[in-house]
Amino acid sequence: MFKETPLLLSRIEELLKAGLDFVFYRSPKSDQVVLLQLSTIQDAAHHSFDDLWVACPFSTEHTPHYYRVLSEESFTLDSNFRDDQFKTLEVPNSTLNDYRLKVVHAIEEIGKGLMNKVVLHTQIEVAYSKEIHCLIHKVLAADTEGFRYSFFSAELGLWMGITPEVLVHSTNRNFKTMALAGTRKLKDLDANPFREKERAEQAWVTKEIVELLNKSADSMDVGELETVKAGKLAHLRTIIKGEIKPHLTTADIASVLHPTAAVCGYPKSLAYRYIEENEILNRSLYSGYLGRVQKESSSLYVNLRCMSYKEGMIKVYVGAGITADSDPELETEEIRIKTSTLASILMA
């Protein structure tokens, strides 16, 4: 039985009513929720501060948004929110059909040799009349190993999510990133293992990261391919570690990596151009990155499994990687499956 944490719940409600910039976040494998109150700073001034919150949109036309940390509080959760049933959002047929057609077109373009992979996304709108501070509390209390957060700023609005993907962790000059691709229901993995399509997609993501970091790292170690759990889903993952060159920072590494092949495609420049020309919906912070940057250690996460909220409406963002071997029906089903991370919380 989920037991709410009253002090955390009241602080969420208080800050929402005040309209102040904030972020609540919970790191993987932690039972602590951290609250940072924030103040917007100009891009050029972010070098002056040793403790920052960063939120970067997907679009490379926009620079990251930097926020100075004004204060910090922490809360110990009384319990985790858990739902053992596999649930998905009800996705309108019009959304699924539109996505299927976009997948078919992308496969045709890939067949012409223009690119190897492109990531396409869609958005599902859900009317939400319950108290929003209670929803944020459940997101933060979710029993999963992902990075859980709720972030609000006057310029970007209210966002929350549970992302499984690290963009970069760093401690001093040591860094860690990951290549993440492929999605399966965890309970179906034995009967429906990852195909060559997902393994090839994973190899492209890994290859691109290594290529991008070659000029930024003094050393690099690429780990073995592994299958990892993310809530009720499973993904393919490769951990990449190394040492940043002395003149570079975590923010520099993030700008080199973003957007990765996992959220954009491969080769990146061609996939990004295709997305810009063919995606009508604005990704905003979806598949961008966010996290805390401090002087000696930083953690930035790719903003996946996320949703935004405005005036009684939730917008859930999901995407899938398309390659020459993609099946439009399976890719469309993957979109529905990926709503499962947030569906249980929204339906509670």
pLDDT, tens only, 83-116: 989 999 999 999 999 999 999 999 999 999 989 9
pLDDT, tens only, 42-84: 877 777 888 999 999 999 888 899 999 999 999 999 999 999 8
pLDDT at 251: 86
Q: Is the dihedral of CA 19, 144, 174, 269 positive or negative?
A: negative
Task: Please state the length of the chain.
Answer: 348
Specify the pTM: 0.95
Put residue 317 in one of left, alpha, beta given phi > 0 → left and psi -120 to 50 → alpha: beta
Token pair recorded at residue 264:
């954009």
Biggest CA–CA distance in the chain, Å, is 57
pLDDT, tens only, 143-153: 998 999 999 99
The verdict on whether omega for the bond into residue 267 sits within 30 degrees of 0, i.e. cis, is yes
Query: Which domains are seen in the chain, by residue range?
Result: 6-80+88-347 (3.60.120.10)
Q: Parallel, antiparallel, or unpaired: how do β-strands 297-302 and 166-171 relate?
A: antiparallel
pLDDT at 247: 87
Question: What does the alpha-carbon distance between residue 146 and residue 1 come to, in Å, rounded to a whole number?
Answer: 21
Q: Is the dihedral of CA 277, 280, 286, 289 positive or negative?
A: positive
Mean pLDDT by 10 residues, the chain (348 residues): 94 97 96 97 81 95 93 97 93 97 97 93 97 97 94 97 95 93 89 90 89 92 94 92 91 92 92 96 97 93 97 97 94 95 93
Residue in 232, 82, 230 with CA at minimum distance from that of residue 142? 82
